[in-house]
Structure 1
Amino acid sequence: MATDRLWAGVDVGKEQHWVCVVDGSGAVVLSRKLSNDEDPIRALVAEIDALADQVCWTVDLSTVYAALLLTVLADAGKTVRYLAGRAVWQASGTYRGGEAKTDAKDARVIADQSRMRGQDLPVLHPDDDLIAELRMLTAHRADLVADRTRTINRLHQQLVALCPALERVAQLRSDRGWVVLLARYQRPKAIRQSGVSRLSRMLTDAGVRNAAMIASAAVAAAKTQMVRLPGEGVAAGLVADLAKEVIALDERIKTTDADIEDRFRRHPLAEVITSMPGMGFRLGAEFLAAVGDPALIGSADQLAAWAGLAPVSRDSGKRTGRLHTPHRYSRRLRRVMYMSALTAARCDPDSRAYYQRKRQQGKRPIPATICLARRRTNVLYALIRDNRSWQPESPQIAPTAA
């Protein structure tokens, strides 16, 4: 016989989930391992539905591991709530088993916490294809950028074993021309023999802007070292391979950027978001990837809290009025708002004036930028709510004397 309500908690895994169902008293009704495949998930949902008139589902992850589960539950018309893994870990110590951790115990903690906390837990909403694609592409771009940084670091280290003077002058992170040069010439002797003119022509043909400057610096550095270091042949080969790898990564990042921009421009709020100073298509895409459906943002304060820009109080006893950064917020969303504020402080007069006021009030650069980011959340929320583009304030025209 079906009861009124049950609570289902899911400890999400890559290949298998663990599902635990509890009743109104917290007693376990069902606890079972579940394969991460569509048919078993649908079968279990139907089985649990037969046990109660209403089933409240809660998960501890919303990553790709839970994508199939969340999609099937949404297709079945289920509302799914989210309990962060940190909260599961903090609560698990009060349940039987102490500090011992198992999937079955975690699933029970999720279900029971959902029963007790109810409406306090946020609801997960299924993403449309566009948001899902933006999340994949922005995450992939972040991986490519991290790979590029690691390769550049290895290239610097290997170049020291070849010619320390050349490593000191090479601006590998900021100037593509140096990477192009090292993909072709690595040994100090080869650089000296090629000379400034030949290197400049090669770099110019490769589309490098400051070719003559790079060629002159490279030849000057190569002339400071006439001795051949041990293992020069192997080191030169490794430098060439790493430089070519950086060039290939640059091309992949460029292609990924084009894919991100193409999908971002399809979103109905793309022009609204990028109209705000400091918010380009990449940060706009990361914003959508972080928040999902912007229509679900309830207020500017909610957006600020989500981004970790709204300080929370830390009062205890006689100590009152102390504020600190919240522990639970979206680091990704905070980065978007911070980086866009950083850019706006340089290119937008109003933002720059606000930032300077905060600096004059005694705030250091980072806190002043955070204040600007918090102010901008109000503007961005209003633009999204009203579906309108940002417009600078019209200058006030002083009345002319009669």
Structure 2
Amino acid sequence: MSGAFRPKFGTVLVIVDQVANIGALPLTVARAAGCRVAYLPGLSMRRAADLYPGEAKTDARDAFVIAETARTMPHTLRAIDRDDETLAALTMLTGYDNDLAGEVNRATNRLRGLLSQIHPSLERVLGKRLAYPYVQALLQRHGSPAKIRKLGRARVEALLKANGSRKAHHLTTEIFEALDEQTLVVPGTETSALIIPGLAAQLGAARPSRR
């Protein structure tokens, strides 16, 4: 590409307004073709766009603004070095981590809300421990007070211990003491038993991905 244009136009300069996202591929292609590359920062891009008529934001208008800015105000351009690429990679990873953090918060809040609705005493025991894999495993497989009670103390303790709890006996005692505090079944309990395992699974998948 660069070789085809250089005889007629001289040095080829490829400019983007985003180093990451949609700008990553054009930059890679341009470098591979031997072109120089540069970056027009977002603030400079917005200021330059204000100098031209029209308010509609289109790809064609953005390309025109970038080209004219490079031609008339080359001092606004920034060279792209490896630090920019590192920053782009970190931005990508940070965005992904933020998404995961949002998933963790949503699943945690929803689980605590459902447990508080159907069995407040059980929520007081498990809600503060939802970050632990052994609690997630218990709720994934036995997502209602009735199912946990049916499983029995010995098997609950074994499940907790198998999934990493160092105080499985103590936690099992807390769980069954909480279960004994409520004898009535709140409307919606059966429906929540269909939702809780899925939320616990989401939480179990999202939290390890953030490590």
The equivalent position to 1:84 in structure 2, one of 19, 37, 41, is: 41
Report the equivalent of 1:186.
143
Q: Distance in 2 between matches of 1:84 and 1:174?
A: 40
Q: What do the CA deviations read for 1:289-324 (whole angstroms, capped 9, x no partner)?
A: xxxxxxxxxxxxxxxxxxxxxxxxxxxxxxxxxxxx
Q: What's the TM-score, normalizing by structure 2?
A: 0.78
How far apart, CA to CA, are the structure 1 residues paired with 2:173 and 2:73? Answer: 68
Distance 2:7 2:116 in 1: 69
Within 2, Cα distance between the matches of 1:246 and 1:219?
23
Tell me the residue number matched to 2:112: 156
Q: Percent identity?
A: 33
- CA distance, structure 2, for counterparts of residue 88 and residue 138 of structure 1: 24
Partner-residue secondary structure (3-state), 1:96 = coil
Q: CA–CA distance in 2 between the matches of 1:72 and 1:88?
A: 22
* Cα distance between partner residues in 2 of 1:247 and 1:206: 12
1:68 and 2:25 matched? yes
Task: Provide, for residues 88-118 of structure 1, a one-character-per-residue CA deviation record: whole Å limited to 9, x for no partner.
Answer: 2232122122x33332222222122223442
Higher relative contact order (CA 8 A, sep 6+): 2
Match of 2:56 among 97, 100, 114: 100
Which position in structure 1 is the counterpart of 2:171? 214
What letter matches 1:122 in structure 2?
A: R
Higher helix share: 2
Indicate if the aligned counterparts of 1:178 and 1:214 stay in contact, CA closer than 8 A.
Answer: no
Matched, 1:230 2:172: no
Does 1:125 pair with 2:113? no
Q: CA deviation at 1:135?
A: 7.1
Contact conserved, 2:112 with 2:123, CA < 8 A, in 1? yes
Gaps of 5+ in 1: 1-41, 258-402
Q: Give 1:246 deviation, angstroms.
A: 2.3
Match of 1:201 in 2: 158
- Which of 248, 251, 258 lines up with 2:205 in the alignment? 248
Q: Amino acid of the residue matched to residue 128 of structure 2? A: Q
Query: Counterparts of 1:251-330 in structure 2 under 5 Å?
Result: 253=209
Separation in structure 2 between the aligned mates of residue 131 and residue 120 of structure 1, nearest angstrom: 20
Q: How far is the alpha carbon of 1:172 from its aligned partner?
A: 4.2
Q: Residue 134 of structure 2 contacts residue 159 of structure 2 at CA under 8 Å; is this kept in 1?
A: no
Q: Distance in 1 between matches of 2:60 and 2:46?
A: 13
Give the unaligned 5+ runs of structure 2: none
Find the partner of 1:114 among 56, 60, 70: 70
Corresponding residue SS for 1:161: helix
- Secondary structure (helix, strand or coil) at the match of 2:128 reads coil
Conserved? CA contact 2:19–2:88, under 8 Å? no
Aligned amino acid, residue 206 of structure 2: L
Report the AA paired with residue 180 of structure 1: A
| 8 Å CA contact retained: 1:188, 1:225 | no
> Per residue, is there more strand in 1 or in 2?
1
Aligned length: 209
* 2:12 maps to 1:55: yes
Partners in 1 of 2:182 and 2:39 — Cα distance? 61
Separation (CA, whole Å) in 1 of partners of 2:134 and 2:196: 15
Contact 2:40–2:76 (8 Å) recurs in 1: no
